[in-house]
A and B are shown apart, each in its own frame.
Chain A
């Protein structure tokens, strides 16, 4: 039986208050009410009384792992994570952007999360097929069991049915619509480069103005920077104001990574990430 959103919210408030009161953490990354219930805001609680402002409901889709790198190293942080978000935290720990000892991970098992525009249930589609966080210190609700396991890659079927030329045409068409607002990289928990290559002047990697060349340069480079690192939270797609299905490329690469190396990013803190691991029996399929 899944814990209700109201109960999770209460648990989150209680844990946040206790952690801030005891001084175990300096801040808690959670959600607060936005301009209405369907539009919650990411929120940083900094003192015990801030805990009262915390909410959690089916529209709290933002991946809070995005905000971890904003704080100076060594800041003690408690973070509320849904399944995919927990994978992002794992990758950030592996990449030494945050220290495991500085974090208290408040896990949220999710059932019934919704898209705020369409109200459709998005469970397991934006959580990498998971219902429970892969890593946490405190679980804020009953672990979810018995739900149908949906492969995070099912959504790829129409894309995979395309041949090489069709895929090239597909991406050219989709990426042409990009307005270069950079919401995708800013929403992505794995995009923490400062500066991002596309902002550099010397050398200039791609045109600043939207156009076929610069857009391809930006997105294809970003796609490849996330190979083996994307944790499938879907934030890039959700953040995109023109609905470019960026997640499809990331999923495809993640699937190939899993097939070739048996590794999915951020699933286990003890496993070496695909890009830093080498085994004699590694697949050579990538070279074919």
Chain B
């Protein structure tokens, strides 16, 4: 099913989707665009390259409350926080970010230990993927094509959207996608030239230029295994690293979290909060021992997790080349350059 709508009618489409459930879409904010729950259909803004924060927070919010309790009271009085996500439409996700959901599914569903929070939200969500604008050069930070992701790949999206002049083409790829598109009477039927434009763009997206090196998963995993004890290499690539957590927080495939009890004046909440392997206290043990006291050890963990351990354990590289970590790094550490340097080491 291929439909279309004029770009200046986006807020009308947004309003219709809001009638059917929760709409999460890019909104322009002070520092850039971000995915937010839409409360006013006019907020949806398609004038972005990519969002500052990845869309992972739609399924894995930075802060997730599990249980509330009052300290000293019997256990039975503690309250579980119910999660009944309503149908959600995640609108405008770039192909590399759509790919990240499949990688994250491995951890929250695929290993057999199903995380109900992630999986219920995932089930309730219809993903509207959105091709990069092929008429605009990729940001110098991006390298998703080096990881086998095209700029207009519809894989993983329920509905995939491509901009054609001042019209937005929407094509359903799953039953979920078919259903929602058929309910949107605001969309017009597409013509034959729209269908060929859509297919041509998907094909052109595969040869779209981002930074590129040949990254073979098995070869890169082996390379990093060999480099593990090469402190000189790691000290060199982590030289400027401040060991803050920006790169992991903006990353679509970083999923580490901490479960903590946060209580104030007797009332408490047990919650999950994003954590980061770049933080000094991430590996601090109860004994006081910390196996990763040096910056290079922490950066090595981050890189090797994505480009070595993850491949050995689960198959795919845990990186989609979206470039967010590089764009947000205060000192311009660049994961692509590190992988490149490793492969040439």
Q: In the assembly, what is the distance between CA of A192 and CA of B249, in Å? A: 22
Task: Tell me the chain B residues, 243-301 only, with Cβ under 8 Å from chain A.
Answer: 243-246, 249-250, 258, 260, 262, 264, 271, 273, 276, 279-281, 295
A43 within 8 A of B: yes
CB pair B280–A183 under 8 Å, yes or no, is no
The winner among B31, B242, B245, B328 for most chain A CB atoms within 10 A is B242
Q: In the assembly, what is the distance between CA of A211 and CA of B63, in Å? A: 9
- Which B residue's beta carbon lies closest to that of A70? B295
Q: In the assembly, what is the distance between CA of A241 and CA of B249, in Å? A: 10
State which of B62, B239, B260 has its C-beta within 8 Å of the C-beta of A43. B239
Q: In the assembly, what is the distance between CA of A210 and CA of B273, in Å? A: 9
B233 within 8 A of A: no
State which of A39, A180, A211, A241 has its C-beta within 8 Å of the C-beta of B52. A241
CB pair A238–B281 under 8 Å, yes or no, is no
State which of B246, B249, B262, B331 has its C-beta within 8 Å of the C-beta of A42. B331
Chain A contact surface mostly: loop
Interface string of B300-341 (1 = CB under 8 A from A): 000000000000000000000000001010111110110000
CB pair A41–B240 under 8 Å, yes or no, is yes
Known: A41-B333, A208-B273. A35 touches B141 (CB 8 A): yes
Q: Which residues of A contact B62 (CB under 8 A)?
A: 179, 209-210
A186 within 8 A of B: yes
Q: Which residues of B contact A35 (CB under 8 A)?
A: 140-141, 326, 332, 334, 336-337
B30 within 8 A of A: yes
A266 within 8 A of B: no
CB pair A182–B240 under 8 Å, yes or no, is no
Q: Which residues of B contact A180 (CB under 8 A)?
A: 245
Q: Which residues of B contact A195 (CB under 8 A)?
A: 280-281
B138 within 8 A of A: no
CB pair A239–B52 under 8 Å, yes or no, is no
Min distance, Cβ A28 to any Cβ of chain B, angstroms: 12
- Which B residue's beta carbon lies closest to that of A43? B239
A161 within 8 A of B: no
State which of B245, B260, B331 has its C-beta within 8 Å of the C-beta of A182. B245
State which of B242, B249, B330 has its C-beta within 8 Å of the C-beta of A179. B249
Min distance, Cβ A211 to any Cβ of chain B, angstroms: 7
The winner among B239, B295, B328 for most chain A CB atoms within 10 A is B239
Q: Which residues of A contact B331 (CB under 8 A)?
A: 41-42, 62, 187
CB pair A238–B53 under 8 Å, yes or no, is no
Q: In the assembly, what is the distance between CA of A36 and CA of B326, in Å? A: 12
CB pair B240–A199 under 8 Å, yes or no, is no
Interface size, B (range):
35 or more
Q: In the assembly, what is the distance between CA of A243 and CA of B29, in Å? A: 10
A17 within 8 A of B: no
Q: Which residues of A contact B53 (CB under 8 A)?
A: 179
A177 within 8 A of B: yes
A34 within 8 A of B: yes
CB pair B328–A39 under 8 Å, yes or no, is no
Known: A41-B332, A209-B271, A241-B31. A182 touches B239 (CB 8 A): no
Q: Which residues of A contact B242 (CB under 8 A)?
A: 66, 183, 186-187, 239
Q: In the assembly, what is the distance between CA of A194 and CA of B280, in Å? A: 10
Q: In the assembly, what is the distance between CA of A79 and CA of B29, in Å? A: 38
Known: A42-B239, A183-B242. A209 touches B30 (CB 8 A): no
Q: Which residues of A contact B271 (CB under 8 A)?
A: 209
CB pair B334–A34 under 8 Å, yes or no, is yes
State which of B29, B243, B244, B334 has its C-beta within 8 Å of the C-beta of A239. B244
Q: In the assembly, what is the distance between CA of A240 and CA of B258, in Å? A: 23
Q: Which residues of A contact B333 (CB under 8 A)?
A: 41
Min distance, Cβ B29 to any Cβ of chain A, angstroms: 8
The winner among A70, A187, A194, A241 for most chain B CB atoms within 10 A is A241
Interface string of A211-242 (1 = CB under 8 A from B): 10100000000000000000000010011111
CB pair A199–B281 under 8 Å, yes or no, is yes
CB pair B246–A181 under 8 Å, yes or no, is yes
Q: Which residues of B contact A204 (CB under 8 A)?
A: 262
Min distance, Cβ A256 to any Cβ of chain B, angstroms: 26
CB pair A40–B260 under 8 Å, yes or no, is no
Q: Which residues of B contact A211 (CB under 8 A)?
A: 63
Give 16 CB contacts A-B under 8 Å: A34-B332, A34-B334, A35-B332, A39-B332, A40-B332, A177-B30, A181-B246, A181-B249, A186-B243, A186-B244, A186-B330, A207-B262, A209-B63, A213-B264, A241-B246, A242-B30
The 4 tightest CB contacts between A and B, nearest first, are: A42-B240, A239-B330, A186-B242, A209-B63
Using a CB–CB distance below 8 Å, which chain B residues touch chain A? 29-31, 52-53, 62-63, 140-141, 239-240, 242-246, 249-250, 258, 260, 262, 264, 271, 273, 276, 279-281, 295, 326, 328, 330-334, 336-337
Using a CB–CB distance below 8 Å, which chain A residues touch chain B? 34-36, 39-44, 62, 66-67, 70, 177, 179-183, 185-187, 194-195, 199, 204, 207-211, 213, 235, 238-243
A-B contact sample (12 more), CB < 8 A, given A35-B141, A41-B240, A181-B246: A35-B140, A40-B332, A42-B331, A44-B239, A62-B240, A177-B30, A186-B330, A199-B279, A207-B264, A239-B242, A241-B328, A243-B31
